[in-house]
């Protein structure tokens, strides 16, 4: 019988011990970040990707096993479960093969073969398949009855039974699957009459397309499937029909005889009516699953890079959500992101009150001791940036342009309404822009990741799988950075290892009733937060200026006694040890190894003691677009422009050059060397220089290059 360990080990290159220990930890409700960070000795130093892979395969296996139990029960109820069939099902490793085994026993609506059996034609079908009859017409005539009016009808019914047998042959299905894998061609045909020809034209590249399915890249397949779902094209998966029929006949026909023609006719019927429709659909579905996975991987990488964007840190910020007719919504935030002031200014057309706006901004900068200005990158962003740069401030003020992607989603959300019940969506949106500058991770976790705009055909992939994978990315980023227990929002806390939504809410309630946490141990006083949740979460939660300095580090509380012993053995206190590399390097690590603590954990502790609570993210950098480029009409081939990468795909990356339209750097224009993985060259939020290659004003498309 197939074991979980065998199933996973056959699909990874990870050692069996690491797999089994990881399975055990997952069964104990340990999170992926906790396992990869604090249980390295048990896993053999597996990282989050490897632990995540084991977790995914574990779920796959559990789904397969649950389906096996369901199938075994169904067949047993029909009293057709033999020892051989049970063994085949128990040892099955693939869902498709499992479903093939179940196919003959699957209850479905009445088929042509069922009717033929009711008419007593199954013995005739068996005679034909035996292929030793010499006078088939005479034999068929014996089956004429009230329901079967001729020998031709008898033979037709027998063929329908044979066609069903062929459909249920696992060897034939597998042979045809291999043909689909190797030979399937994706064919599209334009739908001539559509309700919206203009919208259809956007998909004109795929109106009459033909390509081997195995070679079709994920983004193209998803684009084609989108065009089909919109009703603009029809899709067909084709293979060599004659080759497929030869495959079937070679498995059935023993030699030319009186029954050969009937078997060939049955094979043709089985292929066209039963096998081809099912296997072509399966082939496309499998290709779609692979395309989904590829697209989701792209989304995961982009989201990771975006969530780990450099934070400005705790600064007093003036944030602007620019606009023309509706004005620019302006908010002032303190260093904790608390809203201090809001109002609207109208520096741009149609009101053109620039001088009043400048005076107001200067007043607010001085009144609230503003250290940085965040400007949303939407409508009127460039004009607002130019306005700000005209102002001579008394003290230096940093100016940043911040992505607004998803801000409108947040401002209308339940989370935003709970945070700012007395303010409208414009104020909430401006606050979000300011907070994104201060700490992108803390603000972006409040928005559904699918709405942030860094995906590739995210609306076309499996939505449940996408949501699960993106949630894991957010969890990974939150725990990688670590969060301030006394300032984190519920939205941020819920992604901490072992916490979740309800405990996050309880932590906030405790904080409001009792004030700031003074130690990690105090978490155990939070309602429903028991030892397991504490174990999983404590290492990722930070307390600033704590009584125990280790509470502001990634050292887990289960190792506090060990670290205290290290300090004692050196003849110093914790306060004198932490942040002192020369003293820390004197610690003889071998002395502190045990059954539970190995060198991997000890080295992590040492690194953390040297730089406790170090934020792995880089620092925010000021960026300036070319002031001469304000719309797509200002672009000319050959221009060299600064830009920020705002999306990465498998076929290249999109670059924000300070106008409404982002430009595409195709993978072929990324480098002067061959590029197999775009993410090896560029990342989301990266500052780059690009060259304008081509501008298509009609379709609002911009082709750029980084290879110049």
644-656 pLDDT, tens digit per residue, is: 999 999 999 999 9
Per DSSP, which regions of 338-458 are E strands? Answer: 339-345, 372-376, 398-402
The pLDDT score that the predictor gives to residue 410 is: 93
Contacts 24+ apart (CB under 8 A), 589-597: 592/562, 592/565, 592/566, 596/41, 597/41, 597/559, 597/562
Say what the pLDDT of residue 314 is: 94
* pLDDT-based confidence at residue 198 (cuts at 50, 70, 90): confident
Mean per-residue pLDDT, 341-366:
97
Residue 53 has pLDDT above 80, yes or no: yes
Place of tokens 């692979």: 290
What was the pLDDT predicted at 202? 87
* Segment 670-693 mean pLDDT: 95
Residue 288 has a pLDDT of 98
Half-sphere exposure of 65 (CA within 13 A, CB side): 11
| Contact predicate 365/398, CB 8 Å | no
Backbone conformation region of residue 269, classed left if phi is above 0, alpha if psi is from -120 to 50, else beta:
alpha
pLDDT above 90 for 456: no
Asked if 4 and 58 touch (Cβ cutoff 8 Å), the reply is: yes
pTM of the model: 0.91
| Six-digit token string for 481 | 């950075």
Strands 652-656 and 541-542, sheet pairing:
unpaired
Residue 458 has pLDDT above 90, yes or no: no
Q: Return d(Cα 67, Cα 70) in angstroms, integer.
A: 5
pLDDT of residue 457: 85
Taking residues 382-405, report their average pLDDT: 94
Element (H, E) at 333: strand 328-333
Burial of 621 by CB count in 10 Å (0-12 exposed, 13-18 middle, 19+ buried)?
Answer: exposed
Structure confidence at residue 452 as a pLDDT band (50, 70, 90):
confident
SS3 track for 255-297: CCCCCHHHHHHHHHHHHHHHHHHHHHHHHHHHHHHHHHHHHHH
Q: If you average pLDDT over residues 292-317, what whole number do you get?
A: 95
Strands 483-484 and 398-402: unpaired
Please write the tens of the pLDDT for every residue from 306-349: 999 999 999 999 999 999 999 999 999 999 999 999 999 999 99
Query: For a pLDDT cut of 90, what percent of the chain falls above it?
Result: 93
What is the per-residue pLDDT across 84-134, written as a single tens digit (0 to 9) for each? 999 999 999 999 999 999 999 998 889 999 999 999 999 999 999 999 998
| Residue 579: count of CB within 10 angstroms of its CB | 14
Q: Are 604 and 617 in contact (CB under 8 A)?
A: no
Report pLDDT digits (tens) over 591-602: 999 998 999 999
Tokens 């919206």 belong to which residue?
Answer: 196
Question: What's the mean pLDDT when you consider all of the chain?
Answer: 95
Q: What is the structure's pLDDT at 363?
A: 97
- Provide the pLDDT for residue 553: 96
Task: Give helix then strand counts, H and E, for the chain.
Answer: 31, 15
Distances (CA, A) of 584 to 24, 67, 124, 571: 34, 54, 87, 12
479 touches 333 (CB < 8 A):
no
**What pLDDT, on the 0 to 100 scale, is given for residue 59?**
97
Q: Is the pLDDT of residue 193 over 90?
A: no
* Model pLDDT for residues 526-572, shown as the tens digit of each residue: 999 999 999 999 999 999 999 999 999 999 999 999 999 999 999 99
What's the confidence (pLDDT) of residue 450? 84
């Amino acid at each position: 019988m197939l074991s979980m360990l065998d199933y996973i080990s056959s699909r990874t290159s990870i050692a069996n011990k690491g797999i089994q220990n990881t399975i055990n930890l997952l069964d104990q409700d340990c999170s992926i970040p906790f396992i990869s960070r604090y249980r390295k000795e048990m896993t053999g130093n597996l990282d989050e990707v490897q632990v995540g892979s084991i977790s995914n395969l574990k779920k796959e296996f559990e789904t397969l096993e649950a389906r096996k139990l369901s199938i075994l029960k169904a067949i047993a109820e029909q009293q057709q479960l033999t020892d051989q069939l049970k063994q085949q099902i128990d040892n099955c490793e693939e869902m498709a093969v499992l479903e093939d085994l179940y196919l003959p026993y699957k209850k479905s609506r009445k088929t042509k073969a069922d009717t033929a059996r009711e008419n007593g034609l199954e013995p005739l079908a068996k005679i034909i398949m035996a292929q030793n009859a010499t006078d088939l017409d005479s034999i068929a005539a014996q089956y004429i009855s009230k329901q079967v009016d001729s020998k031709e009808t008898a033979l037709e019914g027998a063929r329908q039974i044979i066609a069903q047998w062929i459909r249920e042959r696992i060897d034939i299905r597998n042979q045809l699957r291999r043909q689909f894998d190797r030979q399937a061609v994706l064919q599209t045909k334009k739908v001539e009459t559509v309700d919206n020809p203009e919208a259809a034209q956007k998909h004109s590249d795929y109106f009459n397309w033909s390509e081997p399915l195995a070679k079709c890249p994920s983004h193209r397949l998803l684009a084609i499937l989108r065009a089909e779902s919109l009703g603009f094209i029809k899709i067909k998966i084709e293979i060599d029909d004659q080759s497929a029929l030869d495959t079937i006949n070679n498995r059935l026909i023993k030699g030319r005889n009186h029954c050969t023609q009937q078997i060939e006719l049955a094979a043709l019927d089985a292929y066209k009516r039963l096998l081809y429709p099912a296997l072509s659909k399966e082939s496309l579905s499998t290709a779609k699953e692979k395309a989904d996975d590829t697209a989701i991987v792209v989304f995961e990488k982009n989201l990771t890079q975006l969530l780990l964007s450099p934070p400005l840190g705790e600064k007093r910020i003036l944030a602007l959500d620019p606009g023309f007719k509706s004005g620019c919504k302006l908010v002032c935030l303190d260093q904790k992101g608390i809203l201090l002031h809001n109002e609207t200014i109208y520096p741009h057309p149609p009101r053109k009150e620039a001088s009043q706006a400048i005076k107001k901004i200067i007043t607010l900068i001085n009144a609230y001791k503003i250290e940085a200005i965040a400007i949303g990158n939407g409508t009127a962003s460039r004009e607002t940036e130019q306005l700000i740069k005209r102002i001579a401030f008394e003290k230096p003020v940093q100016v940043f342009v911040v992505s607004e992607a998803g801000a409108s989603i947040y401002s209308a959300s339940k989370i935003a309404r709970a945070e700012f019940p007395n303010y409208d969506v414009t104020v909430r949106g401006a606050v979000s822009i300011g907070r994104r500058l201060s700490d992108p991770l803390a603000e972006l976790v409040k928005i559904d990741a699918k709405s942030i705009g860094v995906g590739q055909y995210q609306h076309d992939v499996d939505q449940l799988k996408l949501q699960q994978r993106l949630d894991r990315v957010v969890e990974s980023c939150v725990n990688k950075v670590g969060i301030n227990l006394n300032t984190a929002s519920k939205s941020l806390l819920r992604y901490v290892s072992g916490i979740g939504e309800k405990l996050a809410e309880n932590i906030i309630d405790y904080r409001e009733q009792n004030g700031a946490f003074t130690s990690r141990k105090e978490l155990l006083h939070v309602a429903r937060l028991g030892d397991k949740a504490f174990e999983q979460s404590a290492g990722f939660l930070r307390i600033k200026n704590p009584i125990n300095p280790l509470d502001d580090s990634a050292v887990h509380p289960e190792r506090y006694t060990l670290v205290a012993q290290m300090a004692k053995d050196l003849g110093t206190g914790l306060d004198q040890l932490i942040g002192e590399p020369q003293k820390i390097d004197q610690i003889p690590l071998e002395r502190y190894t045990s059954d539970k603590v190995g060198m991997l954990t000890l080295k992590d502790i040492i690194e953390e003691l040297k730089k406790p609570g170090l934020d792995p993210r880089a620092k925010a950098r000021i960026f300036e677009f070319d002031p001469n480029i304000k719309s797509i009409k200002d672009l000319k081939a050959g221009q060299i422009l600064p830009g920020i990468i705002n999306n990465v795909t498998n076929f290249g990356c999109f670059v924000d050059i300070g106008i409404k339209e982002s430009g595409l750097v195709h993978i072929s224009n990324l480098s002067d060397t061959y590029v197999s993985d775009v993410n090896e060259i560029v990342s989301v939020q990266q500052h780059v220089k690009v060259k304008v290659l081509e501008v298509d004003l009609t379709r609002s498309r911009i082709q750029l290059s980084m290879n110049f």
